[in-house]
Every structure is written in structure tokens, then in C-alpha cells.
Structure 1
């Protein structure tokens, strides 16, 4: 953060001060008649900037942090033109790392209020992402409000188009990844957070021994699991629902890209073992129980009209992402989730049964292919399961299931081939 320690005598800093003064002069003119209180605050900001420019020893950091007030006022004006201008200036301050943790909280509160009003959502997403990626000032409740602001825009609505929802989803993925990057850097000792920069957490159910960045990551992961499970978030206050597929994609990102966090911090392994695995098994339930409907009978009252309540139908988008998670867990976490991987593999093998929908069998086949191309993984299966008493013979079941699947393809091709053509093929 070289800019923060700069003094106003530096040439680049002077140029930036001039730009800020011009911004506030423009804002003062725009608000002169309709918003006199904002104009007065702008004039005060211009005076402070002018004094700082004439004092070579003054710290720009302190000066810039003091002039946020008129910009926040401008964002509260409900005038789209003024709000857009103020957000542009705030982005300029953020990009130059000219605010501290207190200033970051003011900015986030401002963005949060604008988000509740549904104003300039793309600009809000842009500003939130910039604040998170250019500094490590946002933690605790300030981070929670930032995440809530972005997650609320993920679902389309009457006033929100699909492009904004897609931008929000991409921003949330970026921020979740960033939080886990910080937790990993903190665990490695390359990042230290000043406790004074962390606002007291509300609804904090993280273990007490965790460091600040790890707390943020733990609470976000905990709420992702809650939301996928259909429950309201505890830390991300105000979020009660997200698309299940989106929640599973976030979980996939965390488990795929940040496995080191789970191996280095025991509390995350507990979440993985006790909550993530339980969630996956529960969501697999409709897939396990469901049977593909037989071909419709041509005779009235035949097999197609059989009574009985149908099982809950599995959804392709959810099943696809669940099997992707299973693949990731088996590959990356097999050593610490031996029992859970045994369950996951048994469920995946069952998806190859002939009475399962074709798309489900195809997805299971893809997962098994990813696993069987890794000899070390197959060796581990033999050692952990097939060679152990009272354990499922996973390796044997994989071989049998694949053999039965291949055989069923030949049987199906023979059934669909006319007798004349079949005799010709056999000759």
C-alpha cells in the first residue's frame, strides 16, 4: 500500500489531489440548488484538499479518508446522476488505496443501502469487487454486508435483468475465492490482519481459536451449506434462499481450489466431514430412490398405468453438480474421509443400475471414468475397502458395474436389431 504512506509533496499524489478537487467542484455545482448540504460538504472537502496540497509533510491518507462524507451524502440523494458521479469518485479513492478500515465500512454501508433501493446495481457490484480486491480491509460484519449485497442480485427479478444476475454470480464467486485465498495466506503466515480493523461479528458461530480471515471463510462456508440445505443463512443476515445449483457451484469452487485450507485448519475438516458430506448424501436421496419409468404399455391397464405414488424426481442440474462434488472429494480428500468416500462410491455405482434414467447412468459413468484413470486411487480403494473385513468391496463393485453396463449395451443393440440383420451380422 505505497500510496497510503505517500505525502502530498509527491508529484503523482499532487496530480491525484488535483483530480479530487475537480471532482468535488463538479459535485458542488451539481448540488448547488437542490442539495445545499452536499454543496457545503464539498466546499469543506475542497478546502481540506487545498490545505493538504500546500503542506508537503501532510499525509494524503488522512485527508482522503476525511472527505468521504460528501460522497456518502451524494449517494443518499436518490438522484441517479449524482449517485453515479459519487460512486465514480469513491472507486477512484479505493483504487488509490486512500481509505482505511473505518472508511471501508462507510463505503460498504453506502453500497448496501443503495442495493436495498435497487439502484445502479452493476455499478455497486463493480465498486464492491474493487474494494475487496485492492485491499484487505473488509472483514467481519463489513464483509458479511458486502456478500449480502452481491448475493441478493444473483436471482433475476422484475427490475433486474439476466445480465446483472450473471454479473452478481460472477462477483460472488470472485469474493468467495478471495476470502479463502486470504484464509490460506493467513494460515501460511504471509498475511496478518490488524484486530482493530475487524468489527465485532454478529451471529458469529465460528470457533474462537480461528484467526480473522479464517473466521470469515468459516462463516461463509457454513452459510453456503445452510442455504443449499434450504435454511436461512446465519451470518449473511437477510439471505434466506439462493439457487441450489449456484450454492453447489460455490461449494465446488471452495473444495476444488482451496483444499489446503481444509488440511491446514482442523475446523474446516470438521465442517467438511460433518456438514458437507451429510448434505451431499441427503441431496442424493431422490436419485437413489427414483426408478426410470418403463416404456408405456400399449394395452389399457398395462404396466404404464401401475398405481402407487411416484418417487421424487431427481433434477439433472443438481445431480450433475453433486456428482462433480463427489469426484472432487474422492480425488482430494479420500485420506481424511475414508468412510464417507465409501458411501459416495457405493451411491455412484448404484447410478449405473439398468432401472436408472439414461442421463443419470451417463453422469455416473463419467465420474467412474475420472476415478479409474488414476491407478493410485484404485490402489487406495483396494487397500481401504476390498482388503478390509466388513467393508464394501468398492473396486470389485466398480468392475462388476462397468461390466454389467457394457453388457447391457450389447443386449440393447441386439433387441433393437431386426432378426434378418442379426443373422447377417452373426454370419
Structure 2
């Protein structure tokens, strides 16, 4: 069997590498070779732990070469289901020790092994093992000794592990596997009519699936469901700037935690629609986090004020409004009113553009717009959010039209004047004098344009001044 031959070759490589400095490892490798020849399948290797012990012994030496060889062999054993589940705790302890080594190759091998564990039958099922496996990824992500390459790998590994965990939750709780396909996402560059047509085509099936998901709400969680819930709670705490008690991690970048949360919200809708415990976390913890992060009445400092974090907040809010407004009516009403209010505030241009993109997405999605109108505008107890959204967008469009109507003729006149003045002054007084005169004219014109901009927008529009044209 090819797998058995590869293992024997790896054991010989370990024996050769350990010959001089680690005679105990050499002897154990030779003993494992003899033992391996008496076995015929991965299942027999799993029942006999001598082979696994050999590779763990090579890792325990903490030599870079032996650790790389040992971890590579561990990956092969796990991939071929040649490891019993009772050995997982010992393997995770070994991986935790290797995560603290400074060698980049060893760190990469450690992360690869973690991911293979999640993809195999050895997938952690206890809270301790799951927390330890995920904690290794987060510690490598936040370690000051990790290179950028290792951090990126740790982030990708953690994200894939989270996806596998929630896939298992969906399977264990017997929920429909609904994931938002790329074709259903709204493109920034496509035409509105195309977006509307695509949305109408997609909306009917999505609507029926969501309604059926809400019809069978479950209160009791399986063991796998409880693991996913603990992870969701810790991710929410980390995104809020707190610590993760279950994962035993003091802090990670809030942007990273929020990115993972946004991924879960957008891809695992049935979990929140069908499981009461998940719905409560979404309602009381996730929505509270997003409401706090959406505040614009105070000066936001640090990571929460960066464009990347604000973009993730707005995307998460959009997912909640789009996918969960049927049972999060009050929360979605607050979110929508806040978004509409932002369009009138004196905020950075990038922030207003992000909000407008979210509102545009609602307007071209037939199902979302209909749900919002039914839940809010047609309910006398709720705010007319669709009406207010249309009014806000109309106000912005009319403001832009007025601004262009006022400033464009002035801009063309000033440009013509500058060109004429420059040409005449170059001929009469020389290039340097002409340049000085034109700069003075541009400065005066910029001041006039700024006044017109204030009249139209109510605040400075430095991005439209002549110095940046």
C-alpha cells in the first residue's frame, strides 16, 4: 500500500536525521519501522499507537528539522484516519508547544495540521479541545513574533475552521443548508435594472426557505450546536473589544473578529432563524455591538473609526436587515433610521458613500424592499422607513444637481479665463510672472467655489476644489 510505504520512508528520514544528536529518537524510529511492517491498514495503525508516539517524540525534541518531519507525518496519519480520537488532546498539546517556536516553517506546519484536524474525522467535539485548537490560531495571529505571512495563514486557517464548525452545526441540528450565492450579491458597477431583475429571480426561492426555517424553531441544542454558540459569543465579545473567556484569548483585532462575524451572519442564516439560543445572541449581543458601532454623534477613535471597521459594521447591519428583519423588527428599525440619518450628517465622504451603497442595495433587491415596506411602512406602529429612505436619496440627488448647476458654469468660465490670462501674460511678461498670476486667480476661484459648495452641501467639499482637479 502506497500510504504504508510513504510512512516507512518518513520513519527512515527521521532515523537518519536523529542519528547523531538524538539516539533515542533514532531507536524509536527503527522500532516503529518494524512495527509498521506488521500492520496493513490505517485502521490498524490507529489501534496501535506506537507509530503516532514515534512522531510525537520527534516533535517533542523541538529541533526544527525533526519538528517539520514529525508534523508532516502527523498530517498524513490524520488525513488517512490513522489516529484514534483519544489521541487528539495529546496532539493539540504538541501543536500548542510548536506554536510558541519562532521558526516560520514550524508555525506554518502547525497551522496546516490544525486545519487538517478540523477537516478530518478527528474534528474536535469537546469544548476543551475545540477551544485549544482555535486558540492556537488566534495566538499565532496576534503574536508579535509571527511574521506577516504566518499571521495571514493563521487568519485564513481560523476562518476555514469557523466555516467547518458552523457547517457541522447545520448538519447536527438538521437545518437546511442555505448559503448566499455570489450571483445574489449586488454589484457596485452593474446597472440597476440588471440588479433588480436578478433580485426578483432569486427572491421567491429565498423567501420560501426563510419562512420554512422560521416555522420550526428549536430550543434544545446538540453538543455541536453548543460549541458553535460558545464560539459565536466569544467572537462577539472580541469584536466589541473584550476578551474571549472560552477561547482564553485576551484580545484580537476588532476588525478581524467582526469580519468573521459578518461571514457567519451572511452564510448561516438558518442557524439564527431556527435555533432560539442563536437568535438570542444575535438579538442581544450582536445587534447591541452593531448599534454601538454605528454611533456617529461622538468622535470615534482607534480601530472603530477606521474605514475597514466601519465598512464591516455597515455590511453586517445590511445582512441583518436583509436576512433577519422578519423577527428583528425593532432592531432593524433602529438600524434603518440610523442609516438614513447618516446621509444628512457632516461625515467623511467615504463614510457617506458606504452608507449610500447599503441603501442602494436595499433599493434594488425586490424581496428586501417589499419586506421593509410590509414590516414598517404598512404598520402604523412603526416608522415609514422606505418613505424616509426614498426622501433621503431624493434629497441627495437634488443637492448634487443644484451644486453642479451652480458650479459647472463658473468652473468653465474660470478655466477659460485662466487659459486666456496665461497665454497673454506669457507673451508679454514671461512664464514666471504668468504662472504667479494664474495661481492667484485659481486661489480666488477656489474660495468662491468653496462658498458655493457650502451653500449646496452645508460643509466643505475639499475634494471638489481646483487644487485637486
Instruction: Pick the TM interval, shorter chain.
Output: 0.7 to 0.9
1:163 corresponds to: 149
CA–CA separation in structure 2 for the residues paired with 1:58 and 1:128? 21
Cα distance in 2, alignment partners of residues 397 and 249 from structure 1: 29
Q: Which stretch shifts more, 208-217 or 96-105?
A: 208-217
Which of 18, 26, 32 aligns to 1:45? It is 32
CA contact (8 A) 2:219 2:276 kept: no
Q: Which moved more, 1:310-319 or 1:260-269?
A: 310-319
Give the TM-score normalised by the residue count of structure 2.
Answer: 0.73
TM-superposed CA distance for 1:384, in Å, is 1.9
Specify whether residues 98 and 350 from structure 1 end up closer, same or farther in structure 2 by C-alpha distance, changes over 3 A only.
Answer: same
Please name the residue that 1:81 is paired with.
Answer: 65
Q: Point out where structure 1 has 5 or more consecutive residues left out of the alignment.
A: 1-11, 191-206, 291-309, 423-427
Larger radius of gyration: 2
- Equivalent residue runs for 1:211-226 within 5 Å: 211-226=222-237
Match of 1:289 in 2: 297
Deviation at 1:412, TM superposition (A): 2.4
SS for the counterpart of 1:52 is coil
Select 1:397's aligned residue among 378, 382, 388.
388
Q: 179, 182, 187: which one pairs with 2:165?
A: 179
| Alignment partner, residue 298 of structure 1 | none
Give the distance between the partners of 1:126 and 1:36, measured in 2 at CA.
Answer: 28
Select between 326-335 and 39-48 the one with higher mean Cα deviation.
39-48
Conservation of the 8 A alpha-carbon contact between 1:352 and 1:360: no
Tell me if structure 1 keeps the 8 A contact 2:42–2:80: no
Partner in structure 1 of residue 242 of structure 2: 231
Tell me the residue number matched to 1:295: none
Query: Per-residue displacement from partner, 1:226-255 (whole Å, max 9, x unpaired)?
Result: 111111101111x11111111111001111
- 1:367 aligns with 358
Q: 1:228·1:247 contact (CA, 8 Å) conserved in 2?
A: yes
- Alpha-carbon displacement from aligned partner over 1:142-193 (angstroms, at most 9, x marks no partner): 1211111111222473x32222211111111100000000010111189xxx
Is the Cα contact below 8 Å between 2:317 and 2:335 reproduced in 1?
A: yes
Q: How does 1:99-110 map to 2 (within 5 A)?
A: 99-110=83-94
Shift of 1:312: 4.9
Sort the Cα spacing of 1:416 and 1:378 in 2 relative to 1 into closer, same or farther, 3 A.
same
State the distance in 2 between where 1:382 and 1:113 align: 56
- Aligned position for 1:203: none
Distance in 2 separating the partners of 1:251 and 1:347: 21
Aligned to 2:423: none
Secondary structure in 2 matching 1:240: coil
**CA root-mean-square deviation:** 2.5
Find the aligned partners of 2:243 and 2:134 in 1 and give their Cα distance: 15
1:334-391 Cα offsets, whole Å, 9 max, x none, are 1111111101111111111152221111111100111011233223222222232342
Distance in 2, matches of 1:28 and 1:48, equals: 14
2: CA distance, partners of 1:172 / 1:395? 39
Asked if the contact 1:115–1:149 (Cα under 8 Å) also holds between the matched residues in 2, the reply is: yes
How far residue 408 of structure 1 moved from its aligned partner, in angstroms, is 1.6
User: Which of 372, 378, 383 matches 1:387?
Assistant: 378
Deviation readout 1:76-95 (Å, 9 max, x if unpaired) = 21211111111111111112
- Where in structure 2 are the equivalents of 1:146-161 lying within 5 Å? 146-155=133-142, 157=144, 159-161=145-147
Residue pair 1:225, 1:279 contacting (<8 A) in 2 also: yes
Q: Is 1:66 aligned to residue 77 of structure 2?
A: no
Q: Which residues of 2 match residues 9-158 of structure 1 at below 5 A?
A: 12=1, 15-53=2-40, 59-63=44-48, 65-119=49-103, 120-139=106-125, 140-155=127-142, 157=144
| SS at structure 2 position matched to 1:88 | helix
For 1:18-59, what per-residue CA distance to the aligned partner results, in whole angstroms no more than 9, with x for missing partners? Answer: 332332233223223322332333233223223335xx9993
Instruction: Give the structure-1-normalised TM-score.
Output: 0.80
Candidates 341, 360, 364, aligned match of 1:350: 341
Label 1:85 to 1:401 Cα distance change in 2 as closer, same or farther (>3 A): same
What SS class does the counterpart of residue 103 from structure 1 fall into?
Answer: helix
Distance 2:220 2:317 in 1: 30
Moved more, 24-33 or 401-410: 24-33
Give 1:104 deviation, angstroms: 2.4
- 1:413–1:189: structure 2 CA closer, same or farther, 3 Å change rule? closer
Aligned-residue offset at 1:268: 0.7
Q: Give the CA deviation at 1:260.
A: 1.3
* Residue 257 of structure 2 is aligned to residue 247 of structure 1: yes
Distance 2:300 2:337 in 1: 20
**Equivalent residues of 2:88, 2:122 under 8 A apart:** no
Q: State the match for 1:271 in structure 2.
A: 281
- Are 2:342 and 2:355, in contact at CA under 8 Å, matched by a contact in 1? yes
